[in-house]
Amino acid sequence: MLNSMGATARVRMTPDDRRRQLVGIGLRKFVERPVQELSLDEVAAEAGVSRGLLFHYFPTKRAFYLACVAAAGRRILRNTAPDPDLEPTEQIRAMVLRFVEQIDRRRGFYLSLVHGTGGGDLGVVEVYDGIRDQATTRVLDALGLDAGSRPVVHAWWAYVEDHALGWSAGPPGRRTTSLAELVDHCVAALDALLGLPGSAA
């Protein structure tokens, strides 16, 4: 890193800050391209640290990738958190909107989270399942539903995700459905699905 004097400086950070910085760089990189194509040397260089220091925090590329995936999961949950001041249905609407926006903005990375194309393993699946579980709990809480409705709400998120992935695959200019229409459809879908027999089995 070049400081304002043009000299190479190594910024002193606490271990936690350093870890956060490295994961932040990784997150940005993994959104741009697949994990296979990323070299840890690049990450170290961008952070202004040695490869040795990076390996001190993350002993393997896999460990670094998993830390980034876990951070991505936390970010998705943060970015889609419900606003308890809204009416229940509006909370759902806002969650769906933000979820679709998340996927649209980082589609490749999200797909690698779903399908393990960045090297699938149980750590990635755990992050993915954790997002779905948490999002399901949020909907149950917002609507005051009990655990009997969990399978329907959980599967409804799969429905929303599939729509979001399909919708975001098309170039923005050629989408036949607007984001608002997609969100409206998904909100109405939840209502319809919860009203069916077997929805609180």
Residue 2, helix vs strand vs coil: strand
Applying CB under 8 A, does 176 fall inside the site for a copy of itself? yes
Looking up tokens 């984001």, which residue turns up? Answer: 179
Applying CB under 8 A, does 137 fall inside the site for a copy of itself? no
| The one among 158, 168, 172, 179 contacting a copy of itself by CB under 8 A | 158
CA dist 188 and 93 (Å) reads 10
Interacting span for a copy of itself (CB under 8 A) from 15-23, 46-54, 55-63, 113-121: 113-121
Q: 176: which DSSP letter? A: S
| The one among 18, 128, 135, 142 contacting a copy of itself by CB under 8 A | 128
CA dist 154 and 132 (Å) reads 7
CA dist 109 and 114 (Å) reads 9
Interacting span for a copy of itself (CB under 8 A) from 21-29, 39-47, 49-57, 146-154: 146-154
Q: Which residues make beta-bridge pairs with 8?
A: 2
CA dist 152 and 158 (Å) reads 10
| The one among 114, 140, 143, 145 contacting a copy of itself by CB under 8 A | 114
Applying CB under 8 A, does 104 fall inside the site for a copy of itself? no
Total residues binding a copy of itself (CB under 8 A) = 44
CA dist 189 and 162 (Å) reads 13
What does residue 165 show for φ and ψ, rounded to 5 degrees? -70, -40
Looking up tokens 């959104």, which residue turns up? Answer: 31
Interacting span for a copy of itself (CB under 8 A) from 5-13, 50-58, 92-100, 182-190: 182-190
- Least CB distance to a copy of itself at residue 33 (A): 14
- Interface residues with a copy of itself (CB under 8 A)? 111-112, 114-122, 124-125, 128, 151-152, 154-163, 166-167, 176-177, 181-182, 184-185, 188-189, 192-193, 195-199, 201
